[in-house]
Amino acid sequence: MKKHLILFALLFLPFTTIAQIQQSQQTPVYGDWLFNGDFANQSFNGFNPDYQLAIGDKVRVQIWGGTSLDAIFEIDKQGNIFIPKVGPVQVSGVKNSQLNQVVVNRVKQVFQSNVHIYATLESAQPVKVYVTGHVMQPGLYAGLSSDSILYFLDKAKGIHPTSGSYLDIRLIRSGQAIETFNLYTFLTQGLMTPHQIRDGDTIFVSPRKKHVAVDGLVAKASAIEFAQTQTNLAYIKQMVKPQPTVTHVRIYRNSGTEQFVDYHAIDEADQAPLYSGDKVVFVSDQKARSISVRVEGEHESEREYVLPHGSTLAELISQIELNNLSDLSGIQLFRDSVRARQKEMLQSSLQSLESSVLTARSDTAEAAALRAKEAELILQWVERAKNIQPRGQVILTNTDVFNDIHLEQGDIIRIPSKSSLVLVHGEVVFPSAITHEADSTVIDYINSAGGYTQSEDSTYVIVMHKNGQFEKYLAEDTSKLKRAKIVGGDEIFILPKVDTKYLQFSKDITQIIYQIAVSAAVVLGM
């Protein structure tokens, strides 16, 4: 039977996404954010005093008194405007700040008294400018003579991220480069060389010059461009602004088939030479002498504690003043490193599921159509699952382990209150908080919440205790559920059942649902 390979990736992902994925794997060039400001949709009619009038500009002239006139004149090919009863007035090349005086002087030659004159630049000349070189979309673009080169570069979708230069952008007129622009100067100092665009000008973006990649503890990982044969670390620091916690810098350098690594203290490395192709990583090589942890929940002590590095949970608890409502047996520990690892494992499981779905084979066209609908449902669920944030809870089996638990920077210790409630979540009719009773079983609590919303076969029930410990049961195994020990403050999760009749990947999905419930205390159904 003929096999049909169903490429779900092509069904659900646009081609631009593939390009974006490839580009995201490269270090972004410094300044790549410059053309996210939508310059292309912002044309400016304002003029600075040094703007020089050019052919095609429009001048408004108003005369009152002994004679009157209110008209707009376009500068002709000879650089003049023609005012009735006065004649031609040469204004091309005149600065905007001097325009009024030039017109006044010319009119006064004809009307020497009882006449008042006011002249102002009405609008700039429409121009067509070629934008070429290493830009995303070279071409001919329309604008005004008062527009900035940034406007035209943005019209061309910006400088090419891997081949264009931010240091060498040329304004070419009549075959000659009349101005060179350095956008790094604009980005770091706010300086832009004054310029005026004329019809037929060309903006040329030169090839990218030498560059080094910068990563680590900086405001933005970037590829920094430089024009010389080599640069130094002082230049790089000025561009990327390392974080205050940086103590050292690591420099990777490739030489043929070999790679060398240099390691310098940040305060002593300003003159360290850097060459094109090097990679600079700013790091913090500090030795922790103390840590800060936060204690939340039911207690009478401070909320923030500073402890020596290596302190244990038992040492911290000895400093906490508990009260009558404190439940030390249910103490909870939340840790950033555990949260990050849980998130990493969840993402790995989701990516594996995505890969399986997108590369699945079908025997027939009918099966392929069914698989496509199935895949769409799964991928939508995967996107929701990616947004789940694990809690990072460390399971504390009993108080005997407190001496073995070394605290880390940023740990959160939560002392829960003694509780007489049991929470029931997930696939029940009425998710509820139910009063704890010593002789009640898991089944009793589920029934108190209205019972299951789905058949019991293949449905999993998780009992989670306050300290992070949990047990998993099959709903149909009623004998074990009746023996399960429940105390106040426990939570019961009824996981959704994945219908194996329609979903080929039910085993993987069921495992991920379980993983989310345990790490994030969330029941995520399909």
Residue 218 bridge partners (DSSP)? 242
End-to-end CA distance of the chain: 33
Residue range 156-180: mean pLDDT, rounded: 92
Domains within the chain, CATH numbers bracketed: 58-123 (3.30.1950.10), 126-207 (3.10.560.10), 222-283 (no CATH), 290-386 (no CATH), 419-495 (3.10.560.10)
Q: What is the pLDDT of residue 148?
A: 85
Average pLDDT, the chain: 83
Q: What is the pLDDT of residue 134?
A: 94
pLDDT at 211: 92
Res 23 pLDDT > 50: no
Query: Can you tell me whether residue 514 is helix, strand or coil?
Result: helix
pLDDT in the model for residue 514: 63
Q: What per-residue confidence (pLDDT) applies to 14?
A: 36
Sheet-wide strand order for 279-283: 222-226, 210-216, 279-283, 248-255, 258-265
Encoded tokens for 371: 């698989």
Q: Is 26 exposed, middle or buried (0-12, 13-18, 19+ CB in 10 A)?
A: exposed
Q: Which two tokens stand for residue 265?
A: 């203290």
Q: What is the DSSP letter of 475?
A: T
Q: How many beta carbons lie within 10 A of that of residue 235, not counting itself?
A: 17
pLDDT, position 400? 81
* Geometric angle at alpha carbon 186, from 184 and 187, rounded to 5°: 65
SS3 of residue 317 by DSSP: helix
Q: Which run of H or of E encompasses 397?
A: none
Residue 350 has pLDDT above 70, yes or no: yes
Specify the amino acid at residue 32.
Answer: D
The pLDDT assigned to 385 comes to 82
pLDDT score for 10: 32
Chain segment 77-135, per-residue pLDDT in tens: 999 999 998 999 999 989 888 999 999 999 999 888 888 999 988 876 788 999 999 99
pLDDT at 235: 92
- Residue-wise pLDDT for 241-252, tens only, equals 899 989 999 999
> Residue 395 in contact with residue 31, Cβ under 8 Å?
no
Please answer whether residues 141 and 149 qualify as being in contact, where contact means their C-beta atoms are separated by less than 8 angstroms.
Answer: no
Are 105 and 115 in contact by the 8 Å Cβ rule? The answer is no
* DSSP state letter for 32: G
Helix, strand or coil for residue 34? helix
Show Cβ contacts of residue 62 under 8 Å, excluding neighbours closer than 6 positions.
69, 70, 117, 118, 119
In this prediction, residues 158-180 reach a mean pLDDT of 92
d(Cα 171, Cα 179) in Å, to the nearest integer?
Answer: 5
Helix (H, G, I), strand (E, B) or coil at 287: coil
The mean per-residue pLDDT over the stretch 16-43 comes to: 62
Averaged pLDDT, 191-204: 86
Cα angle 164-166-170, degrees, rounded to a multiple of 5: 85
The pair of three-digit structure tokens given for residue 262, joined into one six-digit string: 């240099």
When pLDDT is cut at 50, 70 and 90, the band that residue 472 belongs to is confident
Vertex 366: Cα angle to 364 and 368 (nearest 5): 70
Reading the block at residue 436, the tokens are 């704890």
pTM, rounded to two decimals: 0.54
The whole-number pLDDT of residue 130 equals 95
292 Cβ contact partners less than 8 Å away, ≥ 6 residues apart: 304, 305, 306, 307, 409, 410
Whether the Cβ atoms of residue 62 and residue 69 lie closer than 8 Å to each other: yes
pLDDT single digits (tens) 394-428:
888 777 888 889 999 999 999 999 888 999 988 88
Tell me what percent of the residues of the chain surpass a pLDDT of 70. 86
pLDDT band at 17 (very low <50, low <70, confident <90, very high): very low
What angle do the packed helices 365-386 and 506-520 form, to 10 degrees?
A: 10
